[in-house]
A = this chain, B = another copy of it.
Amino acid sequence: MGWLLDKNRPICPQLCEQLCAQIATGKLLPQQRLKSVRDLALDAGVNPNTVQKAFEEMERQGVLHSVRGAGWYVSDDIAAARELYKTLVERTMQEFFQKMETLGIDPAETKNRIKEWNL
């Protein structure tokens, strides 16, 4: 699992977002055990506390739950994750258009530039 983190913004919500995406897109299945806090921290190159905090935040949102001494698990019901993911993607796109507008590029022009973007 590749973690792509922008060190110039809070890491914790980025972890939440990417976890949420992995659940909503089926890369993590309901009831599946996640990597341990420490292992995931190593993978992502961040501090275990940051991962712990992210997991707790996701728990509050009904996406994960923990079993003492055993690990963290994806919720049985991933409807919450799907919902979060949907708004997350929408927000990302909206913010992109907004940012382009701050650069003097209106949405229509933005769409054009994206269309002509070389992958």
Contacts and interface: CB of A to CB of B under 8 A. Distances in A.
Interface in A57-97: 60, 85, 88-89, 92-93, 95-97
Contact of A102 (B2, B8, B98, B100): B2
B100 A114 contact: no
A110 B25 CA distance: 15
Contacts of A114: 93, 110-111, 114-115
B4 A102 contact: yes
Interface string A1-37: 0111010111000100110011011010000000000
A92 B100 contact: yes
15 contacts: A2-B102, A4-B98, A21-B103, A21-B104, A22-B104, A24-B104, A25-B103, A27-B104, A89-B103, A92-B103, A107-B117, A107-B119, A111-B114, A111-B117, A114-B115
Interface of A: 2-4, 6, 8-10, 14, 17-18, 21-22, 24-25, 27, 60, 85, 88-89, 92-93, 95-105, 107-108, 110-111, 113-115, 117, 119
